[in-house]
Amino acid sequence: MDSQTDKKDTQNISEGLKDSKESFFQSINSDKSSNENLEDIIDENLITLKKVHSILLNCINLTKKQKLEFAESERYFMKLYLKQLTEKIKNSE
């Protein structure tokens, strides 16, 4: 791939991450008590986390600033995943 295609792909992924964050907060606000909804959110956060991690490992054309942004996104989704997993475990006890 050429660098222009890589840049477009990176931008599309960045926009997708922003959309994922927004959809996460919308889904939390719409129904906090549903276990199925919580499981979907946890799964979605894990999937997004894996995608971000894959980008960090496999995209060699990222600038340091882009790597930092993806690392911050990875940290954000890891925190969400762990927080909700902890809540799920506490609620099931």
Find tokens 């919308």 and name the residue: 26
Grouped pLDDT means (10 residues each) for the chain, 93 residues: 59 64 55 62 84 90 91 91 88 80
pTM over 0.85: no
Tokens of 55: 């980008």
Nearest Cα neighbor of 81 from 29, 21, 33 is 21
In the prediction, which pLDDT does 85 show? 87
Q: Where are the domains of the chain?
A: 3-92
Give residue for tokens 């054309």: 61
Q: According to the model, what pLDDT value does residue 63 have?
A: 92
Residue 43 has a pLDDT of 81
